[in-house]
Amino acid sequence: MLRKTVLALIPACALLGVDEVYAAGGAQAIAMFAYGTDECRPVNLVTGPGNIYVAAAKRLLRGRVGIDAEAGPTEIAILADGGADPVYVAADLISQAEHDENAGCLLVTTSPELIEAVQGEVERQRGVSLNRVQVDSALANQSALVLVADLEAGLAVVDEWAAEHLEILTADAGAVARRVRNAGAIFVGPYSPVSLGDYLAGSNHVLPTGGTARHTGGLSVHSFLRSLHLVEYDRPALAEVADHIDALGGAEGLLAHVNAVRVRVPKN
C-alpha cells in the first residue's frame, strides 16, 4: 500500500516541479530534514501531519527548523438539525474514524431522532472501511453524539471544540456556517463532505487539531512566506516623530534609544 501511494505521488511531483523526493517517514524523517544527511540538505521549514512521534519530533525541533503546527489525530464535528440525512452523517463520521483509533468524531444535533438513526447507520456502514479496528476504536472511545436544546447551543459546542473539520448539515447551512468562529475548515451542506476537501475542493488537508483552530489556521502558501519590514526615513521625517520617541523611550527608561534619535535630530 505504501509503495503504491509513493508511486502515485511521483507524477504529481513532476507536475509541480518538485525535483527532490525522499522515501522516508516518521520521526526520523523530521530529524533528517532538520539536521541534514549526506543525501539531504537541512531545510528551513517542515510542514505536514503525522503520527504522535512525528508531532513530538516537530515539537522537539521547533526553533532549529520552522514548523507549521503540531497536527494531532484527525477530527470531525458535524452540526446537524432534524433535517439531516443520517446516512450521510454516519458515512462522514466513519470516514474520519478510519484514519486513526484516536480520531475524534462528534455529532452535535438538536434532534434525538437523528441520533438514534445515526447510531443505526453507523452499525450498518462501519464494515465499509478496510481499517475496521481503527473505526471501532475511534467510535467507541473518542467520539460522541451530543444532543443540544437549540442551534445556538450547538454553535457554542462546536466553537468550543474548534474541530479540524466541521460539517454544517442544517437548514440555511450557509448562513449558519458564517457564524462559526473556530474550525480548521467548514463544509457546508449535504453535498460537501470532508472527503471532498481531502482530495479535490482546494481546501488544505493540513489543518489545526486539538482545539488549536482557536488561534491557528490551516497550511497555506502564507506558511512558506516570510515578511521583511523595511524602514526608511529622511532627516525631516525623523525630526517630525522624535518627540514621540522621547516620550515612549523615556517611559521605558531606555534613554540610549532616545539618544540614538537625538544625536541625529537634536532638540532645538
Distances (CA, A) of 138 to 99, 131, 215: 9, 11, 26
Pair 103, 51: CB distance under 8 Å: no
Of 102, 40, 110, 32, which is closest to residue 64 (Cα–Cα)? 32
Pair 117, 86: CB distance under 8 Å: yes
- CA torsion angle for 118, 120, 121, 126 (degrees, to 10)? 120
User: Which grid cell sits at 161?
Assistant: 471544540
| Active-site entry in 75, 98, 99, 165 | 165
Pair 47, 34: CB distance under 8 Å: no
Question: Could you confirm whether 165 is annotated as catalytic?
Answer: yes
CB atoms within 10 A of CB 268: 4
- CA torsion angle for 195, 196, 198, 202 (degrees, to 10)? -170
Pair 26, 50: CB distance under 8 Å: yes
Question: Could you confirm whether 121 is annotated as catalytic?
Answer: no
| Active-site entry in 101, 164, 167, 229 | 164
User: Which secondary structure element, helix H or strand E, spans residue 77, and what is its range?
Assistant: strand 75-80
Residue with cell 505504501: 2
Question: Which residue numbers are catalytic?
Answer: 164-165
